[in-house]
Structure 1
Amino acid sequence: MAFYLGLMSGTSVDAVDAVLARFDPGFELIATQSTPIPDALKQLILELAGGAEDSIDRLGRLDIALADLFADAANQLIDRQGIARSEIAAIGSHGQTIRHRPELGFTLQIGDPSRIAERTGIKTIADFRRRDMAAGGQGAPLVPAFHRSLFHSPDKDRVIINIGGMANLTSLPRDSQKATLGFDTGPGNVLMDEWINLHHSLPYDADGQWSASGQAIEPLLEKLLDEPFFRQPAPKSTGRELFSLQWLRQHLQTRTEKTRPEDVQTTLAELTARSICDAVNSLKLDSPELYICGGGAHNRDLMQRICTHANSPMVSSTSVLGLDPDWVEAVAFAWLAWRTDSGLNGNLPSVTGASGERILGAIYPA
């Protein structure tokens, strides 16, 4: 029974999540580890994602530095677990997204997989998104295929909601003849993280304490919700290219009233909750159960707001389904590596809009 190692760093740019798992004959999560991204490296990522000057040289240096960080995360997990490297069939590395422009036909994740393979001595599979995009898809989200394999229920309609920097959902109708759908719903934590960092130099709003202290500014919320992306039909995906601090500031500049920073934070929490629940309601499912994963699952205020707006008998984290919300995406990229290694498709055309099923990723031998 071969093991697969998954590496994931999302749009929140807070850590590299590493997992060790196996999928045949059944799923088993063996070990997990989270390696923080150093502040200096995080700043380089955000500068490059924002279009920094001298970007080609920056990209080259960052590609190497991130590969080393990913390799270190993998090596530490392997050494701690004491598993022989020969037992690990492959590493699935998502890389760090620095551009996602499906409207222009490209996406870019960095963290040189050749270097990861060299430093770990293990076959590495990476660059999962671009093959789907070449087939006319969005290249995202890719995790719904994994969600379907692990979380589908024949008895209940379910929606899996990942709240990272951006938020995305997977619709899992209990009727397996109905299509699995998935798409980005809009901002997850990204705007709240940037706003609290601007005002309090904190990386995130722990438990949503700051957002819980304010009052939502309804006129501002309605303006934010008027963003055309929210009305765009699926398939769709988004990123920091749209939902950024600059986008928020543009809306704040139109206000003549004085605004308290905490009220803006509350409004941003409402924006995430409302946009997620509006997207869920658009699915026309029968009282679906909602299961949250990603960092947003730990934000009590945000979870409460989702409970308030959701028309659902169940709002919980994926932990009740047997997988801790912190590790779902990293496990998904271990699963995608297994699919690629087995010659199986990793995308769902009903989710991404691709012209057909595709084997995803490029393989970098050990």
Structure 2
Amino acid sequence: MAFAVGIMSGTSLDGVDAALVEIHGTNTDTTVQLMEFATLPLGTEIVKKIKEVLSIETSSVDKICSLNVELGYVFSEAVKAVCEKADFPLEKVDFVASHGQTIYHLPVPGDHQLASTLQIGESAIIAEETQTTVVSDFRTRDMAVKGQGAPIVPYSEFVLYRDEKRTRLLQNVGGIGNVTVIPAGAQMEDVLAFDTGPGNMIIDELCQQFYQEAYDKNGEHAAIGKVDQALLSEMMAHPYIERPYPKTTGREDFGVEYTGALIEKWKNTVVQDDFIATATQFTAQSIAVNIRDFMDHQSDLIIGGGGSYNPVLVQMIKEQLPGRTVLIQEEVGFSSEAKEAIAMTVLANQTIHHLPSNVPSATGATKPVILGKITYVH
């Protein structure tokens, strides 16, 4: 048994999620009890710095170098915050599992490049600030054995959600959408996972551009708007949507540049709320197109991540999958907001015990490997 804190800062840049858990066992005997969850908001200045290093036009090596250390302090504060909220002594935490902030993910390299990924948030700072062992940088080892380094959560989903009688599809809607398909009675090698396309990323960027709002709270803008079919058709024609799995995507495909180009092209023909409604439908439809073939009447689609709190998006997904069971995490007894932070603790627990936690059938890796790097305090 161990106490751990998982921390996750995703592509949506809406905060650092921290989950304090009690974890037992390893491999398929792993069980996790969520003790407390907290989100540490990312300040305006930090978000600005992250966005600068995400963009090829504004990034620089000195900015990345400095931000790596600064995020280490931010992540440390998230660990302290969740322990304080739980009234749990920091010194009793056995390890911290830090995903880090992805600033570039390159699974399909261009000319003169290598498949690679980069998450920052210096683990040495977290270890020193918390006086706790830190497991970090989970994606790179999978890529070292020809995997795409993503999706990262299928192992934890297999361990925590598999069912003997029903196929379960775990659809996360963060900045990017990703799905894990766990057939009824599955073994690890039966699990499939891949990124379905955009999650909240385009919606969030539109809200920031149009209304200076971080996201579409409760889908209020999408609810007012109407879907523009011509714009939707252009978005659905994006080559990623129909690309065969294994596949992974990110801001490189659906970030600021993509959204800005859409706004520039369509700003005179599509009003703001219609734009947001169409982007919301794009997320719903891209999910449905990618998962429909895996679903039958013995399947459950379980939606998690920030998008699960957008009722308009959830309803659009349901409409795309008539007659199928569509649920959100809370309806099966799990927390949507804590899901990915909890997943980090499961991966780190495997690492601590010298056990693999990638899923080659999901990432395309040639073999199972132990993920992550360990930073010890002593």
Q: Scaled by the length of structure 1, what TM-score is found?
A: 0.96
Matched residue, 1:323? 334
**Count of equivalent residues:** 366
**What 5-or-longer segments of structure 2 have no aligned partner?**
26-30, 110-114
Aligned pair partner of 1:306 in 317, 321, 332: 317
Root mean square deviation of aligned Cα? 1.7
Q: How far off its partner does 1:282 sit? A: 3.1
Matched residue, 1:9? 9
1:155–1:253 distance in 2 versus 1, CA, 3 Å: same
Separation in 2 of the partners of 1:334 and 1:248? 33
Separation in 1 of the partners of 2:274 and 2:91? 54
Cα offsets for 1:175-232 (capped at 9, x unmatched): 3247111100010001000001111110000111101111111111111111111111
Residue 38 in structure 1 maps to residue 49 in structure 2:
no
Matched residue, 2:258? 247
Separation in 2 of the partners of 1:107 and 1:158? 29
Residue 64 in structure 1 maps to residue 64 in structure 2:
no
Q: How far off its partner does 1:85 sit? A: 4.1
Matched residue, 2:160? 150
Matched residue, 2:273? 262
Does the CA contact (< 8 Å) of 1:2 and 1:87 recur in 2?
no
Q: How far off its partner does 1:254 sit? A: 5.0
Separation in 2 of the partners of 1:173 and 1:63? 39
Separation in 2 of the partners of 1:108 and 1:129? 9
Residue 108 in structure 1 maps to residue 118 in structure 2:
yes
Correspondence list, 1:285-364, <5 A: 285-364=296-375
Does the CA contact (< 8 Å) of 1:184 and 1:236 recur in 2?
yes
Matched residue, 1:131? 141
Does the CA contact (< 8 Å) of 1:281 and 1:311 recur in 2?
no
Amino acid at match of 1:329: E
Amino acid at match of 1:62: L
Separation in 2 of the partners of 1:294 and 1:190? 12
Q: How far off its partner does 1:52 sit? A: 4.4
Single out whichever of 257-266 and 217-226 deviates more from structure 2: 257-266
Amino acid at match of 2:254: F
1:60–1:147 distance in 2 versus 1, CA, 3 Å: same
Separation in 2 of the partners of 1:332 and 1:285? 27
List 4+ stretches of structure 1 deviating above 6 A. Answer: none
2:244 is paired with a residue whose SS is coil
Q: How far off its partner does 1:247 sit? A: 1.6
1:63–1:158 distance in 2 versus 1, CA, 3 Å: same
Q: How far off its partner does 1:252 sit? A: 5.1
Q: How far off its partner does 1:77 sit? A: 2.0
Separation in 2 of the partners of 1:273 and 1:53? 31
Does the CA contact (< 8 Å) of 1:287 and 1:312 recur in 2?
no
Q: How far off its partner does 1:335 sit? A: 1.0
Cα offsets for 1:231-269 (capped at 9, x unmatched): 111111110111023223434555596221111111101
Separation in 2 of the partners of 1:293 and 1:22? 21
1:147–1:255 distance in 2 versus 1, CA, 3 Å: same
Separation in 1 of the partners of 2:298 and 2:225? 31
Q: How far off its partner does 1:129 sit? A: 0.2
Q: Scaled by the length of structure 2, what TM-score is found?
A: 0.93
